[in-house]
Structure 1
Amino acid sequence: MAAIQQILAANQPRRRARSQTVYINAYVRQNFSPLDVLPEVQLLAALRFYAVGSFLEVVGDGTGLSKASVSRSVAAVTPILLRHARTHIKMATTRDEVRMVHQGFHAVAGIPRVIGLVDGTLIPIHNPSLVDPCWIGRKHYAAINTQVVVDHNGLITDIVARWPGSTHDSFMWANSAVGQKAGRGVFGRSIILGDSGYPLRSYLVTPVTNPATPQEERFNEAHTRTRTKIERVFGIWKSRFRCIHRSSGGLRLSPIKCCRVIVVTAMLHNIAVRVGADEPPPVEEQHSEDEAPNPAPRHVRAVLHQAGAQTRQELIHLF
């Protein structure tokens, strides 16, 4: 027995207690900088963020990037994509292009010379540093009120993403390039259809507020049927890119970066439409509220309104 104890004692220093053995079975994710991450990976991370609209940690799980790396990738990719927005977001200009748009809209409900539909949509943002109440719209959450013009094919042909959620649609229109071009007659006899939140003009036709004749009622019905196009575009656009839908909790970026992301997703939406990508089910849409238009002095509004009323009356006679 004494011999056995001596042998065990002699071998004891060579053995390691089981309780001291540590097994490590974990994956350590590297923290990349934009200089270390391949451009393809940065692009995929940004596209995933646009499409999913989830937290940056969740987006990073699919690409092996950290939250900070995903954030830097989105910040690096978005301005580069933004440079190509003018190529993919533009209104019809040539005679053939305008004629095709006129024919496309006329086929919907019989309203002639329509070159586009305009409306405002709220893009929710989530930024605790925004304490200015101007960002809070009538839906009681912080948002960017985005003005959009679409054509008969569901393409976004003009977009203005810069105004806080409380901004009136009529104010955005009056201060937009497309609104000022229309006022100068750049679009000729073409008209744009807007809801009652916009001022009635010879180039911007709104529905009759209180229709009193069957013709006016039929015109309003045609106006509504035609404008369902823009409602559908909003639903598909926000379904494709959940980062701009309220279900994502709002864009967790600075207002300037939010505006850039909004325009880039509009450009990507157009690319998807042109290549014939499958349309996702439209999601419920949050619109900006109709506001009483009041952008110009009273005497100027009276003259412009009279011209708009005459144009609308000419259209009503067609019904």
Structure 2
Amino acid sequence: MAAIQHILAANQQRHRARSQMVYINAYVRQHFSPLNVLSDRAVQSKFRLPLGSFLDVVGDGTGLSNASVSRSVAAVTPILLCHARTHIRMPTTRDEVRQVHHGFHAMAGIPRVIGVVDGTLIPIHNPSLVDPCWIGRKPYAAINTQVAVDHDGLITDIVARWPGGTHDSFVWANSAVGQKAGRGEFGRSIFLRDSGYPLRSYLVTPITNPATPQEERFNEAHTHTRTHIERVFGRWKSRYRCIHRSSGGLRLSPVKCCSVIVVTAMLHNIAVHVGADEPPPVDEDGETSEDEAPNPAPCESRAAFHQAGVQTREELVNLF
């Protein structure tokens, strides 16, 4: 009997010891946070999104999959978008307008300029987009994005909602800033744009065939001032390579692409405000929305607006 009790006690002790053993087969991944270990300069250098697979770049740096990064972008973008109006806005106060006027006048001598307007193509990569309206004069799907900038390189207005095949003049006519300008809400201030836009008293384009030295000097000043926005495009797309053509296109739905474009413009303005180092410019050739082309003769219903634009431009030409 004693032997049997000894055997039972031994078995019970052995079973208890085995039951207390815990096997851990799961691997707990430790996420790497670059903000905790890298300097500000290193973060800017590593996460400027230089590749087309920008989701892979972020994922590799944080230990996340493409799907996780995509979900994070989708979650954070609407939150940032709520603050866009705070950081992207036209000058409104008298002092702000005067400062912008002086800044543009110092470039080439054109007075009363409140902004330079241009369109740029932001490529998107979505095989489901078979509608030709997404294809402009360049053979890739894109968002035709209208941008206005001030003398400091801040983006003061942005419209990112139209397919790449949409004409620039249509985007302007249907934009809030274009309609406000048409109602005279900017006073005597003017915008500069190339000849792809209609000539108006508030939207001044270059002279198609300059016939006098004054007209030639005006065109030179107009071109010099207008190239300012091309440099802004280069810095903006260099900071956020996901919106540059070299990225292969934003791999998101069109609606999400538009939101990301606006958010990157807001972040660009924040970088300018805080004095962040300027990134090396990228080639902007071929990404403007349309080639410059002379405006067709205005129809009778718009002749008065065109004539007012001619008069405004002649007043400016007389200054040169």
Correspondences of 1:5-84 after superposition (within 5 Å): 51-52=49-50, 54-55=52-53, 56-84=55-83
Tell me how far apart the structure 2 counterparts of residues 292 and 215 of structure 1 sit (CA, whole Å): 20
Contact 1:201 1:307 in 2 (8 A): yes
Tell me how far apart the structure 1 counterparts of residues 318 and 233 of structure 2 sit (CA, whole Å): 31
The 3 A distance-change label for structure 1 pair 283 and 69 is: same
2:245 is matched with 246
Residue 270 of structure 1 aligns to a residue whose secondary structure is helix
- Is 1:218 paired with 2:222? no
Q: Note the C-alpha offset of 1:57.
A: 2.8
Residue 128 of structure 1 aligns to a residue whose secondary structure is coil
**5+ unaligned residues in a row in structure 2: which ranges?**
1-25, 37-43
1:171 is matched with 170
1:307 is matched with 308
Q: Which amino acid aligns with 1:91?
A: M
**5+ unaligned residues in a row in structure 1: which ranges?**
1-26, 42-46
Deviations 1:9-55 (A, max 9, x none): xxxxxxxxxxxxxxxxxx968599xxxx99x99xxxxx987744542
Tell me how far apart the structure 2 counterparts of residues 292 and 110 of structure 1 sit (CA, whole Å): 24
Deviations 1:220-261 (A, max 9, x none): 000011111101000000000000000110000000000000
Correspondences of 1:1-319 after superposition (within 5 Å): 51-52=49-50, 54-55=52-53, 56-285=55-284, 286-289=287-290, 290=292, 298-319=299-320
1:24 is matched with none
Deviations 1:112-156 (A, max 9, x none): 000000000000000000000000110111100000000000000
Contact 1:170 1:293 in 2 (8 A): no
Tell me how far apart the structure 2 counterparts of residues 189 and 51 of structure 1 sit (CA, whole Å): 41
Q: Which amino acid aligns with 2:280?
A: P
Contact 2:126 2:253 in 1 (8 A): yes
Tell me how far apart the structure 2 counterparts of residues 231 and 298 of structure 1 sit (CA, whole Å): 31
Deviations 1:191-214 (A, max 9, x none): 000001110000000000000000
Deviations 1:66-96 (A, max 9, x none): 1111010000000100000000000100000
Contact 2:52 2:246 in 1 (8 A): no
TM-score (norm 1): 0.84
Tell me how far apart the structure 2 counterparts of residues 121 and 179 of structure 1 sit (CA, whole Å): 17
The 3 A distance-change label for structure 1 pair 213 and 29 is: farther
Tell me how far apart the structure 2 counterparts of residues 275 and 51 of structure 1 sit (CA, whole Å): 20
Residue 62 of structure 1 aligns to a residue whose secondary structure is helix
Residue 127 of structure 1 aligns to a residue whose secondary structure is coil
Q: Note the C-alpha offset of 1:293.
A: 5.2
1:13 is matched with none
Identical-residue share of aligned pairs (%) = 79
Tell me how far apart the structure 1 counterparts of residues 247 and 280 of structure 2 sit (CA, whole Å): 16
The 3 A distance-change label for structure 1 pair 180 and 193 is: same
Q: Which amino acid aligns with 1:138?
A: R
Q: Which moved more, 1:77-86 or 1:47-56?
A: 47-56
Residue 207 of structure 1 aligns to a residue whose secondary structure is coil
Q: Which amino acid aligns with 1:298?
A: C
The 3 A distance-change label for structure 1 pair 283 and 177 is: same
The 3 A distance-change label for structure 1 pair 29 and 223 is: farther
Residue 121 of structure 2 aligns to a residue whose secondary structure is strand
Q: Note the C-alpha offset of 1:301.
A: 1.9
TM-score (norm 2): 0.83
Could you list the structure 1 runs, at least 4 aligned residues long, displaced by more than 4 angstroms after superposition: 27-32, 47-50, 291-294
- Aligned pair count reads 283
Tell me how far apart the structure 2 counterparts of residues 206 and 262 of structure 1 sit (CA, whole Å): 27
Q: CA RMSD in A?
A: 2.5
Q: Which amino acid aligns with 2:219?
A: N
